[in-house]
Amino acid sequence: MTLGRKAWQAIEPLHSFIYFAPEAAERFQALGLEGGSGYFASRSAAFGPATAETVIATFFNFNPAFVRQSMAAVWTKVTPEQVLAARLEAADAALRRGLGDLIGTDAIAETAALTRKAAEAATERLEGRPLFAAHATLPWPTEPHLELFHAQTLLREFRGDGHIAALVTAELTGLEALVVHAATGYLATKVLRNTRQWSDEQWAAAADGLRERGILAPGEDEVLTEEGKALRQRIEDQTDRLAEPAYEALGEEGVNRLVEVGKPLSDAVIEAGLLPFLKKK
């Protein structure tokens, strides 16, 4: 297992909770941003007043019609600065709820320092990383738990930009990438299709195209062929390789320490229900 994958598996919840915590939805709604508008605007606000096309390009696997509908007139209601402030306020409130007495502890401070070191190392590799580069221009929060959230956000976008590069190299569209992901069984097809707003017909057409390429097996079920499994593994391996520059700054000892002190924080976030689809293992 690469250093990047080890760290990602251990502490990714310290960023991804922001997409599910009610604290975020409440603050975006207070700004007049409902549903997808809050998600797309908050994650793209680091670009400034991003267009729908920028979101389609950098988020990759959402139905473009859904993005355009969600982003319509967003920046006439709010400024990117207001959305970014609301997101950080939501992260603060959610982490205080999820981490409780862990807020202000040495574990938070050490995890923040380690992730910040990795994130700052990643800024030496901005090329081809648009979402990461945009977030890297934002100021660092001063409170350790928010410093940790920002660092992990940077690391998530660094990895995500690399993952998109791997998917494009594999000649998969955003929808096809979702179908392949669903076929691994990690997340239910219904969840992936509904959250990205693809119709049954669009999903079925993409699956048929993947069958023609030999990536899915013949039949109604979406099952990866051996070629499909190999393709998926190549994508994951390439994603891991592209994420390594950030974690090379920590080395094996540093990553092991990050997992040691950071995973209990992730577990606390999960146990608090900030990621409702996950259960502590």
pLDDT tens track for 162-189: 999 999 999 999 999 999 999 998 878 8
The pTM assigned to this predicted structure is: 0.95
Calpha distance 183→263 (Å, rounded): 28
The span from the CA of 265 to the CA of 256, in Å, is 15
Please tell me the total count of domains within the chain.
Answer: 1
Q: Which amino acid is at 244?
A: E
Percentage of residues of the chain with pLDDT beyond 90: 93
In a domain? residue 126: yes
Domain presence at residue 158: no
Residue 25 in domain: yes
The torsion angles phi and psi of 143, rounded to 5 degrees, stand at -75, 135
pLDDT at residue 281 in the model: 46
Question: Which of 61-75, 163-177, 185-199 has the weakest average pLDDT?
Answer: 185-199
Q: 242-273, pLDDT tens digit by residue?
A: 999 999 999 999 999 999 999 999 999 999 99
Does residue 208 form part of some domain?
A: no
DSSP label at 139? Answer: P
Q: Which domain holds residue 104?
A: 11-150+251-271
Mean pLDDT across the stretch 85-90? 98
pLDDT category, 276, cuts 50, 70, 90? Answer: confident
Q: What percent of the chain has pLDDT over 70?
A: 99
Domain membership of residue 98 (yes or no) is yes
Q: CA nearest 8: which of 158, 134, 135, 122?
A: 158
> What is the spatial distance between Cα 217 and Cα 228, in angstroms, rounded to a whole number?
9
The pLDDT mean for the chain works out to 95
Kindly write down the DSSP assignment for every residue of 217-233, as one continuous string. Answer: -SSSS--B-HHHHHHHH
Q: Is residue 95 part of a domain?
A: yes
In angstroms, rounded to a whole number, what is the distance separating the alpha carbons of residues 277 and 281?
Answer: 12
- Does the pLDDT of residue 158 top 70, yes or no? yes
CA dist 196 and 203 (Å) reads 11
Q: What Å distances lie between residue 198 and 95, 177, 216, CA to CA?
A: 32, 13, 19
Beta bridge partners of residue 216, listed in sequence order: 224
Angle subtended at Cα 253 by Cα 151 and Cα 7, rounded to the nearest 5 degrees: 40
Residue 94 maps to a domain:
yes
CA separation for the pair 70, 31 (Å, rounded): 14
Question: What's the token pair of residue 215?
Answer: 């990536």
Predicted local confidence at residue 130, as pLDDT: 97
Distances in whole angstroms, Cα of residue 162 to Cα of each of 81, 86, 217, 235: 26, 27, 28, 10
Answer whether residue 32 is part of any domain: yes
pLDDT of residue 279: 56
